[in-house]
Amino acid sequence: MERNINNNAELLPVRIYGDVMLRVKVQPVQHFDDKLRKFVRDLTFTMYKRDGVGLAANQAGQNLRLFVIDTQWSREDAEPHPVVMINPEIHAAEGEYEIEEGCISVPGIFAKVRRFNKIVYSYTDINGIEHREEVEGYKAVVIQHENDHLNGVLFTDRLNKLSQLKIKRKLKALLSTTVDGTNIRTDIFTDQEKELDG
C-alpha cells in the first residue's frame, strides 16, 4: 500500500556496508539554507521508501551531522511523523535496552544490540531552533543507532564476538561490491531484506 509521503522529493542512493562514507565522522551543519531543506526532504523521502525508521546523512553520501527518524513508522496504519535532528548530541545515558536492529546500509543482517535505555539529548531542528529532551526505550535506541552513524559506527560494530562471527560471511558478501571506497546499491531490496531498518 502506498502511504502518503512527500512526492516532491527525490530518492537518494544509499551507501552500503563497505562504503567509506559510513566510516566518516561527519561535520556539523552550519548553513540552514534551501540546499539543506532540499536534502532533508530527500533524505526523509528515502527513509520512507526504504521502510526505515531512521536515516543518517552520510548513509546518503553527505558529510553532514544530521539524521531523520520516525519511530512510529513501524505501525502499518501510521501517518508520517518525521523528526529531523541536526547537530545532535547525547549528554547523558543510563540503563540497558536490547532489541534486534537492522540498518538500511547493512541489508539482510539483523542482530540484538545492547544499548542505553534512557538518554538525554539535544539537537537543532530545520528552523534553527534548539531542543533538549529525555527519552527512553525504543526511540532512545533509534537515536543512539543514528547518532552512531554520524561517528562512523555501525550496529554491527557493537555486537559480541559470537554474533560477529555469525554475520561474518554476510558482511563479506556486502563488502564485495565496494569499488574504490564506494558501495551503492540501486536495486530494490528483497522481501527478506525489506524489514524495518535504520
Catalytic residues: 146
* Strand 97-101 to 83-94 pairing: unpaired
**Per CB under 5 A, does 22 bind Zn ion?**
no
User: Phi and psi of 87, rounded to 5°?
Assistant: 45, 50
Size of site (CB under 5 A) for Zn ion: 2
CB of 106 to Zn ion, least distance (A): 7
Nearer to Zn ion, 32 or 164 (CB): 164
Among 18, 88, 107, 198, binds Zn ion (CB under 5 A): 198
| Binding-residue pattern over the window 84 to 123 for Zn ion, x denoting contact by CB under 5 A | -------------------x--------------------
- Work out how close the CB of 145 gets to Zn ion at its nearest, in angstroms, rounded to a whole number: 6
Q: Tell me the closest approach of the beta carbon of residue 158 to Zn ion, in angstroms.
A: 11
Are 58 and 15 within 8 A, CB to CB? yes
How many residues would you count in the chain? 198
CB 106 within 8 A of CB 174: yes
Pairing of strands 130-136, 118-124: antiparallel
Q: Which is nearer to Zn ion, 103 or 150 (CB)?
A: 103
Per-residue CA distances from 71 to 139, 167, 175 (Å):
6, 26, 28
Q: How many CA atoms lie within 13 A of 4 on its CB side?
A: 5
**Nearer of residues 18 and 198 to Zn ion, judged by Cβ:** 198
Interface residues with Zn ion (CB under 5 A)?
103, 198
